Structure 1
Amino acid sequence: MKRKDRRNRRRPMAEINVVPYIDVMMVLLVIFMVTAPLINQGVKLDLPQAQAKPQPSEERPPVVIHIDQFGDIYLDLGDASPEPVDQRQLFERLESALAGAADVQVMLRADESVSYGRIVDAMVAAQAAGAPSVGLVTQPPLEETP
């Protein structure tokens, strides 16, 4: 009998101790929970719905930012033809146009070949100038004729 007891004592354990793994998992979870909100950066946008209807015309025309295929920016305040501006001038003129009225719409009209970064730069300038939202101007798709 002594021999049997010795064999049973020397058998390796078949269980895995998971307590250290749970501790590591909890630490990683806390790290991800703390860092996730810090990673989020972006521009606040109100994107149009897929079946968007045209905006009703208001008394005051919207401010329109035009970006042509070369990346040049033009600002149309509704009182004259669009005039070319750089990024700093865009911010300053938008800030002065939006200072007096909170109901002014800001619309962005860009050529489809313009880089995404250029469009985001214009949106950031509009947001910094005080625009509550920036609308994107699009053309409805052409219907195919049979």
Structure 2
Amino acid sequence: MAKLKKVRKRFDEINVIPFIDIMLVLLVMVLTTATFVNQGIIPIELPEAKAAKKEDNKKEVTIYIDAKGDIFFEKERVDLKTLEAKLSSVEKEQAVLLRSDKESKFQDFVSVMDILKRLNHEQLFIITKE
């Protein structure tokens, strides 16, 4: 009868390919989730622009105009008079981001721009998607 010899295999290295696969899947999940979170608080569909340029500002105030024509200052729904009062307390050097839904009325956009011009706000950024 033949004798079987026990063979011990020594592990000198660790197979990291399954670990890399798991990390790539987690990375894809995080990046996908981050793009949805980045859209903002108020759900609006931004218009497109060919020459869009992203500006990073530390101090900024955001005004939203949704498809129904409702105006929001940060997260709070306001009318035009309240918006003007809130913007008058904002420093002129502070950046104002305007996010207007592409389905909103142009008159709503013009009304907000009118207030900003009357209050001499010059740091205005109209947010679009590329």
TM range (shorter): 0.5 to 0.7
| Offset, 1:132 | 1.4
Q: Deviation of residue 133 (structure 1)?
A: 4.1
Write 1 or 2 for the structure with the bigger share of helix: 1
If the length of structure 2 is used for normalisation, what is the TM-score?
0.57
Aligned to 1:104: 94
State the partner residue of 1:138.
128
**How many percent identity over aligned positions?**
27
Question: How far apart in 2 are the matches of 1:114 and 1:55?
Answer: 24
Equivalent-residue separation in structure 2 for 1:136 and 1:117 (angstroms)? 15
Find the aligned partners of 1:117 and 1:53 in 2 and give their Cα distance: 25
Report how far residue 65 of structure 1 moved: 0.8
Equivalent in the alignment of 1:18: none
Which residue of the partner structure matches residue 109 of structure 2?
119
Between the two structures, name the one with larger relative contact order (CA 8 Å, sep ≥ 6): 2
Uncovered stretches (5+) of structure 1, i.e. residues with no partner: 1-48, 77-81, 141-146
- CA radius of gyration, larger in: 1
2:83 paired with 1:90: yes
| Amino acid aligned to 1:125 | I
Deviation at 1:111, TM superposition (A): 0.7
Flag as ranges the 4+ runs of structure 1 deviating above 2 A: 49-53
Pairwise mapping of residues 20-39 of structure 1 onto structure 2 (< 5 A)?
none
Residue type at the aligned position of 2:81: R
